[in-house]
Structure 1
Amino acid sequence: MRKIVILAVVLLVVGAFFVQRRLNVEIDPAAFLPTDTVVYTDQREGEARGQRFLASPLGKAITAIDLPALARDLDTPADVRADLEKKIGDCKDFINQNQKLLAELFGDHFVIAVLPRRDWMQEAGVVPDARRQLIVFSKPRHGTTAIELLSSAYSGNLQTEIAPYGKYSLKRFRNDEISFVACAVNGWLLAAFEERTLRESLDIFDAKKGSLAESENFRKITADLAESEQIVYLRLNGLAELARDFLAGIPMADQVDQAALAELFNVEAGLDGFAYGSQMRDSILEERMLISLVPDKASAAVRKILEATPAKDDILPHLSDSLLFYSYTNVTDWSTLGDLSAKNRAMVENFSGHSLGELQKILGDGASRLFVKKGEDGQTLPLPLVNFCVAAAVPETLDATASSLLAKAGIDMTKGKFQDATYQAWSGSKVPGKNLRLYSALWRGHWCVGNSLDFFQEIVEPSPEAASLVAAKDFKAVDNGINEPAQSLMYIRVDQSLDLLRDACGWLATFLALESKDLPSKANLVNERLIFPILEGAKMYKRSLNIGGIKDNMLKIDCRTSIAPAESK
C-alpha cells in the first residue's frame, strides 16, 4: 500500500509538472503571421540593449550633438530651424512622458512585422501607405493589463471603442491624426494601423496552420539564431516587390529614372531569404547573417557560390597586424561586367584592348584578395595603401595589359623581382609619393595591382610572429576560425579605419575651398560638431572578423567585433 501511495504521489508530481509546463508554453509571435511575411524583426531585452547603447561612447556622442545650434551656425533658414527644434522637442517630450509605458511595452520582448500588400490594399492612383501592412507585437512586463495603461495614457488624445471579433475584443484608438487597433492574446499585445491586418493575424493564429512559424524556410534560416537578442528576417523577393510597388505609385516626370530605381531592387535569381541575429558576450558583439539559396532557381553567379569548395586561405602567414582591411573570397564573379551599359562597355573595351567576353575568360573565377593599410605621413595625398590580387585564369595577359596601359599614359616603369614575385613599377623622379607608386605584379598565379610597391613587397614576405595578424593577442579576441576552410573572410581594424575616414573628411573640407569661400568653414563646422564626434564615438569598435561559408544551401557569415575596453592596447 505504501508503494502504491508513493507511486501515486510521484505520478501526480510529474503530471503537475507537465501540465504547468504546458500552461506556460511560450507563444511564438511568428504563429500570428502569414508564411509570406516580408519583414520580421524580433527584439529581446530592448530596454537593456537601448540603455547599454546610450551609455556607450557612440551613444553618448550622438546624444550630445546639438543639431539646432549647428543649424543656426550654418545659417539655415529660420523656418527650417524652428521645424527641427519642434520635432526634436516633441520627440523628447514623448519619450519623457511615456518612459514607463514604453519600458512596459517594449522593454522585454517585442516584434515588428510587415505583411505583403493584399488585394484590398490596391487603390489606383494612390501612393501605397506602408503603415497598413505593419503589425507590432509586444510582451508587456506585467501582462496584457498594459493595454489599459495604453488607454489611460492617451485618454485625453484618443477616442476608444471596443469591437468584438470572434473570441477576441479589439480596442480601437482614433483621433484626427491617427488611428490604430489593439488586442490582447495570451499575454501578447497586438497592434496595427489597419484593422484587417490585425484580423488576418488573429485568424492565422486560431487556424494553427499557414503561419510563418510553420514555414520550413523560416524555421531553417532562423534555427541558428535561437540565442540572439535581436533577429531580423527578410523575404527578399517580397521586399523587392514592395519597393517596386511603392515606386510605381509615385508620379515621376522621367520614367527612365523610375525604371532605373526599380532595377536596383531586382533580386539575384536563387536568393530566397535573409536572416540576421546578434548578441553581446562580455565585450564581444557576435553577429550572424544567413542567406538561403535555391539551387533550382539559381543564376550562374549563385551556382558558382554553391559549387565552390571551402578552402583555407594560404596567404594568412603573410598578413601583418598593421593591416586596416583584408578580404578574401575563393570565388570571384565577373559576370556583372556583362550588365554594363553600351557606353561603359565600350569604355572598358577601349581601355583594356579586350572585349568583355575575353576579359571574363582572362580573369576566370578564382580567388581574389584586397589588402588595405594606412599610408605613411607626409605624403602629397593622404591615401591608404591598397593592393588587389586575383587568381586569374591568365594572369600574364592581365600584367601585359597593365604594362601597355601604363606605357600609353607615359609612365616610366622599372621591372624587378622580389622573392617569388615579378613586378613592374612606376619609377623615376615623377613618382608623387610612396602611396602613388603604381605597380603590376605576378605572384603565385595571381595578378596583383596597387599603389605602393613597398606595401606589395611587405605582403609577399611572410610576417614574423611578433608582427603577424593571426598571432596578435587583440586579434585572437575576435578570431572565430580564420584557420579553418572558408569561402570568404573579411577583417577590419575598425578604429583605425575611422581615423582614415576622419582624415578624408578633413581633406574634403579643404578641397571645397576651390568651389566656394564659404563652403570650407561650413564643412569644418559639420565635421567638428557632427561627423568627428560620431566617428570618435564609433571607435569603441576595435576589430571585426567575418567568416563565410556554404552549408545545406545556406550562406552563413559569422562576425565577431571587439568593443572597448576589451583590448589591451
Structure 2
Amino acid sequence: MKQAVIVVPLFLLLLTILYLFIPVFPERKTHESFISSDAQIVITQYDLKDRVAEFGSSPLGQALAELNYETVSRELGFSNDEITQFYRLRDEIRTTYQNPLVQMLISKEITVALLPFVHDNFADLNEQLIDHLLVISRPSQSARLMDVATWAISGDERVSTARYGGHDITRFDLENSSRLSVARVKDLVVMSLNERILRHSLDVYDSEQKGLKENNEYMDKIDQFNGASLVGYFNFDGLVNLVNRAILESSSANSKMRLLDKKKVDAYSSAIFGAWRKENSIVDKAIISFDPNQLDDSSQASLSSETTMPESHKQVAEDTIVYHWTNQFDPANLFDMVGEEQSDTKSMDYGPIIDDLAKITGLTLPQIFDLFGNELTFAVRNLNEDQLVPLPRFLLSVKSTDIDQMRTVTDTLINHYSIPVRRKTFDNAEIISWGGIIGIGSVLPALSFANEAVIVSSNRAQIRDYIGPHKTKSLADNPTFIEMGSDILKPSHSITFLDFARTTEMVQEMVSWGGTMLAIKDRELARKSKVLIDDLINPLLDGLAMYSIIGSRKYQEDNTIVFESFTQLDNGIQ
C-alpha cells in the first residue's frame, strides 16, 4: 500500500511530463495549411522575441527608448490628453508583450493573415479588419503546454469549448465583450476574434476549402524566401479598394493623400517580400507579379527594356554618398504624377506654362519629352568642410536622344527669358553657369551638354570631374562601394548606393545650420527648433546611422519585378 502511494503519483507525474514535453512526430504543419488561397495579406515573423530584444539593444532602439516624448510632444502642439493617451497605449503594449503566454506565442513563429471581406460602409473599418484577422503561432514550447497554460491562467474568465469536425475550439469571453476562439492543431495554435474565420481556417486544413498551398502564384515564388526571418505576401485583388477606403476614412491630417488608381494597379496581381538577418547585415527581397497584357503602353515600354550594367559610377566622385542610376527614366510619366498631385491639391495650373513653352520652343510637351532618353544618374557628395553654408553637392545626368536639339531648346529659353549666364569651355564641352548670383563656396548651379547627356550640377567642378579625363578617383574606387558592388553591380534596371551613416551626419549639419538661422530671425521659434533638434532629430539620426551602407537593385525577370536590398550594420546589433 505504501509503495502504491509513492508509485502512483510518480507514474502520473511521468505521464504529465511525457504529455507536455516529449515531441510528437507527425507531418510538420505550416501556417499555409490554414490560410485560404484568397487571403489579402499574410505576414510571418520567425523568432520575433529575439528580434525585438535585438532591436531594443541597438542604437536606434536605445534612441527611441530614451526620447523625451512628453517634451517633444508639447513642442509639436499635442494636448495633455493626447500625451496621456500615448503613454497609456505604450504601457498597455508593454504589459501585453511581457505577458508570459504572449512571449511563448511569438518567440518561435507567428503569422498574421487578413482574409477578404465584403466592405460595409456603415461599419467601422478597424473593427472589420480585426474581425477578419487570423493568427497562427508555433509556440516556443510544445503546443500541448498551451493547453495547461491556458487552463492555469483562465481564472475567473468565462471559458467554454465546442467541437468542430475533428477539432476542439476553446472560447474566451474577454472584458471588452469580444470573444477569442482558439484551436490547437498538432504543434500550432490557431486563433481569431471571429470564430467563423477560425472555422474556415480549419476547413482549409481539412482540405474542405482551397488553401494558400493551392495558390500557384504564391507557391511558385515562396521557395525563394527560404530561411528568411520575415516573410510577407500581398494579394492585390481587392486590396486597392481596402486602401482607398482607409484613406477616405482617415483623419483630416491625411486628407491630401491621393487615392490609388485601380486601373493602374489591375495589372499587378501579388507581391512577396522577405528579410534575412545575417551577421552585421540585413538582406531584403521583394517580387511583384504582373500580367503584361494588362499594362498600359508606358509601363509596357518601361518593363520591356533590357537590363544593363551602369557605367556612371566610374565618373562620379569617390566621396559620393548617394548614387542612383536607372535605365527606365520616363519624364512623361513623372510629369503625369506631379500633374495629378498638383491637380488634387489645386496648387498650380500647368496649362499656361505648357502653352508658353510650346510658343517659345516650337515644340509640344511630348516632343520635348522625346528629347530625353531613359538613362539617368543622380549623385550627391558630402558637404564641403571649408564651406560656410552646409549645402550638399549634387549632380544629375540624363541621356538625350538628340543632344543638339536639346541644346537649341535650352539656348532658346535662356535668350527668351534673358537669363544671365556664364559660358566656359572644358574638354570640348560648354559649361553654362548661372551668372545672376555669386556662388556660395562650391555652390553655383551649372549646366552642360556632354557625353550625349544633359548634366545639371550644383557647381561647375562636379561637371568637369564627371565629363573630363579621370585624374582623380571615382566612386568605383571607394572601398565601401566596392564591397557593396558584389551584390548590386549586376545587369539591372536601377541601382542605388547610399552611405547612410554619412548622409545622417550631413543632415545633422544642415539641420543645425537651419536652427542657427532661425535663432537670428525669431527667438521663440529658435527655442522650439532647438528642443526638436536636440531631443528628437539628432537622437534619431544618431540611431539611424547604425544602418551604415545601403545598396539596392531592381530588375525584371519573366513577368515579375524583383527588388533586392543589402544593408550593412555598424555599431549596432551583432
TM value normalised by structure 1: 0.85
What residue is the counterpart of 2:51 in the other structure? Answer: 49
Aligned to 1:367, what secondary structure does the other structure show? Answer: strand
Aligned length: 535
SS of equivalent residue, structure 2 residue 553: strand
Question: Could you tell me which amino acid in structure 2 is paired with residue 367 of structure 1?
Answer: E
Q: Evaluate the alpha carbon distance shift between residue 515 and residue 169 of structure 1 in structure 2; reply closer, same or farther with a 3 A threshold.
A: farther
CA-to-partner distance for each residue in 1:473-500, whole Å, 9 max, x for gaps?
3333322344432221111110111122
Residue type of the partner of 1:304? Answer: A
Picking from 466, 478, 489, the partner of 1:459 is 466
Once the two structures are superposed, residues 388-433 of structure 1 have per-residue CA deviations (whole angstroms, 9 ceiling, x without a partner) of: 11112233333344444445555422223333543212247x3242
2:3 match: none
Uncovered stretches (5+) of structure 2, i.e. residues with no partner: 1-22
Q: Distance in 1 between matches of 2:185 and 2:471?
A: 62
Give the letter aligned to residue 499 of structure 2.
R
> Following superposition of structure 1 onto structure 2, how do residues 149-298 of structure 1 map, counting pairs within 5 Å?
151=150, 155-156=154-155, 158-177=157-176, 178-207=178-207, 210-247=210-247, 250=249, 261-263=258-260, 267-298=264-295
Structure 2: which amino acid aligns with 1:195? E
Distance 1:280 1:421 in 2: 48
Q: Aligned to 1:207, what secondary structure does the other structure show?
A: coil
Distance 1:407 1:371, change over 3 A: farther
On the 8 A contact 1:127/1:246 being kept in 2, the answer is no
1:18-37 mapped onto 2 (5 Å cutoff): 23-37=25-39
Residue 391 of structure 1 corresponds to 399
Q: For residues 556 and 56 of structure 1, what CA distance do their matches in structure 2 show?
A: 29
What is the distance in 2 between the residues matched to 1:220 and 1:360?
Answer: 39
- 1:533 CA drift (Å): 0.8
Partners of 1:460 and 1:153 in 2: CA distance: 74
The residue identity in structure 2 corresponding to 1:141 is S
Structure 1 position 208, deviation (Å):
6.5
Deviations 1:42-75 (A, max 9, x none): 1112222222212211111111223235446778
Counterparts in 2 of 1:348 and 1:458: CA distance versus 1, 3 Å: farther
* Unaligned 5+ runs, structure 1: 1-20
What is aligned with 2:351? 346
CA distance in structure 2 between the aligned counterparts of 1:519 and 1:150, rounded to whole angstroms: 56
Q: CA deviation at 1:565?
A: 4.8
Q: For 1:290 and 1:348, how far apart are their aligned partners in 2?
A: 40
- Separation (CA, whole Å) in 2 of partners of 1:424 and 1:63: 50
Partners of 1:295 and 1:553 within 8 A in 2: yes
Matching residue of 2:87: 85
Q: C-alpha distance in 2, partners of 1:106/1:239?
A: 27
How many angstroms apart in 2 are the aligned matches of 1:464 and 1:213?
58
Q: Match of 2:327?
A: 330
Query: Is this contact kept in 1: 2:136–2:191, CA < 8 A?
Result: yes
Question: Where do residues 99-110 of structure 1 align in structure 2 (5 Å cutoff)?
Answer: 100-110=100-110
Cα pair 1:372 1:387 within 8 Å, conserved: yes
1:231-250 superposed Cα distances (whole Å, 9 cap, x missing partner): 111123432121234456x4
Is contact 2:388-2:441 (8 Å) kept? Answer: no
CA contact (8 A) 1:399 1:440 kept: no
Matching of residue 491 in structure 1 with residue 497 in structure 2: yes
| Inter-CA distance 325–74: structure 2 relative to 1 (3 Å threshold) | closer
- Find the counterpart in structure 2 of residue 442 from structure 1: 449
Partners of 2:536 and 2:251 in 1: how far apart? Answer: 34
1:319 aligns with 2:316: yes
Structure 1 residue aligned with 2:372: 363
Decide whether aligned partners of structure 1 residues 244 and 324 sit closer, same or farther in structure 2, where only a CA change above 3 A counts.
same
In structure 2, how many angstroms separate the alpha carbons of the residues matched to 1:479 and 1:304? 28
Give CA-to-partner distance per residue, 1:527-548, whole Å, 9 cap, x none: 2112211110111111111122
Is the contact made by 2:272 and 2:286 (CA closer than 8 Å) also made in structure 1? yes
Q: Displacement, 1:555?
A: 1.5
Q: Does 2:143 match 1:144?
A: yes
Residue 113 of structure 2 aligns to a residue whose secondary structure is strand
Report the Cα offset of residue 252 of structure 1: 9.6
Q: Report the residue type matching 2:165 in the other structure.
A: G
Counterpart-to-counterpart distance in 2, 1:351 and 1:134? 55
Matched-pair identity in %: 17
Task: Summarize the Cα distance change of 1:265–1:370 in structure 2 as closer, same or farther, 3 Å threshold.
Answer: farther
Q: TM-score, normalised by structure 2?
A: 0.84
Q: Distance in 2 between matches of 1:153 and 1:460?
A: 74
1:338 to partner: Cα distance? 4.1
Q: Distance in 2 between matches of 1:509 and 1:264?
A: 40
Q: Where do 1:3-18 residues align within 5 Å?
A: none
Say which SS state the counterpart of residue 316 (structure 1) adopts. helix
Identify if the C-alpha distance between structure 1 residues 81 and 298 changes in structure 2 by more than 3 Å, giving closer, same or farther.
Answer: closer
| 2:220 counterpart SS class | helix
Q: Deviations 1:179-200 (Å, cap 9, x if unpaired)?
A: 3221111211111121111122
Whole-angstrom CA distance in 1 between matches of 2:407 and 2:382: 26
- Following superposition of structure 1 onto structure 2, how do residues 512-531 of structure 1 map, counting pairs within 5 Å? 517-531=523-537
User: Is the partner of 2:36 in helix, strand or coil?
Assistant: coil
Give the match for residue 6 of structure 2.
none
For the residue of structure 2 that corresponds to 1:262, the secondary structure is coil
Q: Structure 1 stretch 188-197 or stretch 124-133: which is displaced more? A: 124-133
Asked if 1:382 corresponds to 2:390, the answer is yes
In the alignment, the residues of structure 1 paired with residue 41 and residue 517 of structure 2 have an alpha-carbon distance, to the nearest angstrom, of 42
Residues 435, 347 of structure 1: CA spacing in aligned structure 2 closer, same or farther, 3 A cutoff? Answer: farther
The answer as to 2:502 corresponding to 1:503 is no
1:328 deviation in Å? 1.0
Q: Deviations over 1:13-34 (max 9, x none)?
A: xxxxxxxx99553323122112
Other-structure match for 1:135? 134
Q: 1:284 to 1:75 in 2, by over 3 A?
A: closer
Which stretch has the larger CA shift, 162-171 or 513-522? 513-522
Equivalent of residue 474 in structure 1, options 474, 480, 498: 480
Q: Which secondary structure does the structure 1 equivalent of 2:265 belong to? A: coil
- Report whether the alignment pairs 1:60 with 2:75: no
Change (3 A) 1:489 1:219: same
Is the partner of 2:123 in helix, strand or coil? Answer: coil
Matched to 1:133, the amino acid is: H
CA distance in 1, matches of 2:413, 2:41: 48
